[in-house]
Structure 1
């Protein structure tokens, strides 16, 4: 009887084991279907009969590993080039742009997607700016041969096939994938929504060698973010804490407070200037972010004026000045924190920036909480 117990447990748990095994195999099969490769297990063989040009001599390159984008290309004549871009199917689009400078803006692109009815669609776009209204359908300098261009879906992948009439395609290529939460382009205007992610490479068509292109003005973007974060978002709050909690260290607290706030203002001003230069160069659609930044700068200038025009301690207007100075300072800090997180979101800088600044704010908030409790106990 004792020997039968393990067997009975196995029989009882058998349906669950089968379910787990089946799910595991299904996931493995789905994963395998969504993969494409430049090797012998290429999905291209399944659809080669539907393509109007020879596919056996196509050069193959995994241009975007994290999104599983595979690019195949070949020169089919003095002014004729073949392209096949493969990517996983999603409820959005894939795009390939030919850029004059390695940036998305200014590129002429080919965009493909699978509609809800399962049909493949492809359109040309000119990427005149970052807002949807600046992305113009059926525009750009790409001469695509229409009767050989098509979008095919096979084994959970989308293949965007097209030919270009051009002597030499641009080496700077940009790739994008749409946000699956937004519908793909549709009639009548085929509006292209903002991409979920993008990347750029420089490709040597002769050798097949490529290198990833650094995002345009990436150093300026980082400088803008870091200067504003340190200046407005860290130093200014610390300076305010000094003024509130270190008054017993008179007059040392005053020199520490003004020193920290002055440094914070200088760094923050530099960050705003960097942002305005960046906005002028890339023409980004960040009006709310820019308006908040200018508002914060105005608050900072008002604080500098308040420091220069502060009344004496014995003056009757001192309490009104203090109320104004502290209120504007608190508003400035609040707006700065909001705009920093908003800027991180707009720049798609990643969770590391959010986590890093969030950790700093957490430390500052905990410190304020402890000091406030200590002040209440002393009262």
Structure 2
């Protein structure tokens, strides 16, 4: 009877003990998942990091992507780094740059493959294409005996030490695309990054500040010039040639002047784009190719005007067919590339809306005039 009377109390105590254990586990898991500069998460990783982490200075170097950098000087020519970032089934990278850009940097890159295996590699970023990013190359001397990569819950930790008097203060951080394709042997080739940032880092204070891009104005100028030149003036000039021939020879002067202005402004836009492409680390190959096709077609149109046959020539009909259709292709490609450029620049919906409204008005007017022209012919 004594045992039976105590059993409920023992059961209650046992259940409370289990609840306390579960609560403790939840606290631990919460600490593991949510890393921050105020957490003591590295204490849970001491057995997997092969150098002293007690003196590391913490900095939220890239808040929007959840990148946290901990670093300190471990010796006269030895520096310790621990980079923490969300595990997005792609790579995370820290690059040490000579000029703040990705090209010319040496980067430490880590990722977790689909099978759960974690890998950390050194890369030299010799260019903007994946083939120019060379694995196991670069001017950083990494202490391999102290390097480790840790996948813990929803985050990945890159721990390494550099043998160097003073690391570069121009740091570049990048995160790979969310395509669930980690770099694979034997090439370990990196795909184009989804996002990247340049940070001017102070090792003494542990403070990093994003390097503001000096090319935002150039981007804006590039977009405006191309939108106005190729995307606005050329369609207007084409409509004048198509629907205003009844006003006499004035249509030709207006058409020629507007098209030449559009070509000149558009050419300036493409030149600014080529300058921009040399100065920023972004892959815009398709946008660039379409732009070069547009400028080529524009040059062909000018050449066609210079060799335009007389009205009574036998080839005038063929020339008209060529001139009209090349112009139509040019206008369609230019309009598409304007929208595509806005998309690549993440310029915001207001740019698309503004140009889309204008294009809608132009198309509506063109359809109305085309119907009127067909009616008159009937």
TMscore range, shorter length: 0.7 to 0.9
* CA shift in 2, pair 1:283/1:68, >3 Å: closer
Backbone CA RMSD of aligned residues: 3.0
Tell me how far apart the structure 2 counterparts of residues 31 and 311 of structure 1 sit (CA, whole Å). 78
Asked if structure 2 preserves the Cα contact closer than 8 Å seen for 1:35 and 1:68, the reply is: no
Counterpart residue number, 1:180: 178
* CA shift in 2, pair 1:58/1:366, >3 Å: farther
Asked if structure 2 preserves the Cα contact closer than 8 Å seen for 1:35 and 1:88, the reply is: no
Task: Identify which of 227, 230, 233 aligns with 1:229.
Answer: 227
Tell me how far apart the structure 2 counterparts of residues 364 and 177 of structure 1 sit (CA, whole Å). 41
Tell me how far apart the structure 2 counterparts of residues 199 and 244 of structure 1 sit (CA, whole Å). 48
Matched, 1:115 2:147: no
Moved more, 224-233 or 183-192: 224-233
Deviation at 1:342, TM superposition (A): 4.7
- Please give the TM-score of this superposition, normalised by the length of structure 1: 0.81
The structure with the larger Rg is 2
Matches within 5 A, 1:136-147: 136-147=134-145
* CA shift in 2, pair 1:32/1:175, >3 Å: same
Deviation at 1:179, TM superposition (A): 1.1
* CA shift in 2, pair 1:121/1:244, >3 Å: same
Q: Report Cα offsets for 1:165-201 as digits up to 9, x if no partner.
A: 1111101111111112141112222111111111111
Tell me how far apart the structure 2 counterparts of residues 179 and 203 of structure 1 sit (CA, whole Å). 25
Structure 1 SS opposite 2:46: helix
Counterpart residue number, 2:75: 77
Tell me how far apart the structure 1 counterparts of residues 137 and 171 of structure 2 sit (CA, whole Å). 17
Unaligned runs of 5+ in 2: 1-27
Deviation at 1:278, TM superposition (A): 4.5
Unaligned runs of 5+ in 1: 1-28
Tell me how far apart the structure 2 counterparts of residues 236 and 107 of structure 1 sit (CA, whole Å). 42
Task: Identify which of 158, 161, 178 aligns with 1:160.
Answer: 158
Counterpart residue number, 1:196: 194
Matched, 1:35 2:22: no
* CA shift in 2, pair 1:286/1:167, >3 Å: same
Task: Identify which of 65, 68, 89 aligns with 2:66.
Answer: 68
Matched, 1:88 2:86: yes
Deviation at 1:219, TM superposition (A): 4.4
Counterpart residue number, 1:301: 299
Counterpart residue number, 1:370: 368
Tell me how far apart the structure 2 counterparts of residues 194 and 103 of structure 1 sit (CA, whole Å). 15
Q: Report Cα offsets for 1:65-107 as digits up to 9, x if no partner.
A: 1111111111111111111111111111100000111111111
Deviation at 1:239, TM superposition (A): 1.4
Task: Identify which of 177, 186, 205 aligns with 1:207.
Answer: 205
Asked if structure 2 preserves the Cα contact closer than 8 Å seen for 1:129 and 1:284, the reply is: no
* CA shift in 2, pair 1:197/1:282, >3 Å: closer
Counterpart residue number, 2:6: none
Structure 2 SS opposite 1:237: helix
Counterpart residue number, 1:12: none
Counterpart residue number, 1:104: 102
* CA shift in 2, pair 1:145/1:289, >3 Å: same
Q: Report Cα offsets for 1:271-310 as digits up to 9, x if no partner.
A: 2333444455669766655444333223212222333444
Structure 1 SS opposite 2:137: coil
Asked if structure 1 preserves the Cα contact closer than 8 Å seen for 2:31 and 2:41, the reply is: no
Deviation at 1:141, TM superposition (A): 0.8
Tell me how far apart the structure 2 counterparts of residues 194 and 82 of structure 1 sit (CA, whole Å). 28
Tell me how far apart the structure 2 counterparts of residues 193 and 67 of structure 1 sit (CA, whole Å). 18
Counterpart residue number, 1:127: 125
Counterpart residue number, 2:56: 58
- Please give the TM-score of this superposition, normalised by the length of structure 2: 0.81
Moved more, 73-82 or 42-51: 42-51
Q: Report Cα offsets for 1:321-372 as digits up to 9, x if no partner.
A: 3322211211221232344445556x45455455554444333333323333
Tell me how far apart the structure 1 counterparts of residues 282 and 47 of structure 2 sit (CA, whole Å). 43
Tell me how far apart the structure 2 counterparts of residues 87 and 283 of structure 1 sit (CA, whole Å). 21
Deviation at 1:265, TM superposition (A): 0.4
Asked if structure 1 preserves the Cα contact closer than 8 Å seen for 2:97 and 2:168, the reply is: yes
Moved more, 161-170 or 279-288: 279-288
Counterpart residue number, 2:267: 269
Tell me how far apart the structure 1 counterparts of residues 311 and 129 of structure 2 sit (CA, whole Å). 53
